[in-house]
Amino acid sequence: MYAIEFEADIKNGVVKIPPEYSELQNHHAHIVVMVKDSAISEISDSPLDFSRTEIATFKHQDGVEMQRKMRDEW
Per-residue pLDDT 10s for the chain (74 aa) are 788 888 888 899 898 888 998 888 888 888 888 877 665 555 556 677 777 777 777 677 788 888 888 888 76
pLDDT on residue 55: 72
pLDDT on residue 64: 84
pLDDT on residue 53: 77
- pTM of the shown model: 0.43
d(CA 52, CA 41): 21
